[in-house]
Structure 1
């Protein structure tokens, strides 16, 4: 089995993404306006999700250029 170079592993973009403790803030699941089919809307929601039914909690809202993200 080949040995891994820790510096090479830590520079991998997927590893950096997984190790970022604030990365979840870029996901629709962090939005108060996100509609969860089980829980419904958060009590802090200020409007309906404009992408309801088309996104999951892991969708990156920045890639959607969502103007209704509210945290």
Structure 2
């Protein structure tokens, strides 16, 4: 949902900037670049979320390993 809102806002802003420039080819380039930037930002956000989840999983595994090591060393 937020990705579509962000893409809509970027597209509207790029059209506004393109309208001021006066060139239709330039307007198309601005719109293409804005759309690509928004898609890249969405991809980066997804990768950051996946990395955060992996880091949390690794931290849990590390805590379990530390507990296992402490129990083994206590014997």
Taking structure 2 as the reference length, the TM-score comes to 0.27
Structure with the bigger percentage of helix: 2
TM-score by length of 1: 0.28
Which gives a bigger RCO, structure 1 or 2 (Cα 8 Å, sep 6+)?
Answer: 1
Whose radius of gyration is greater, 1 or 2? 2
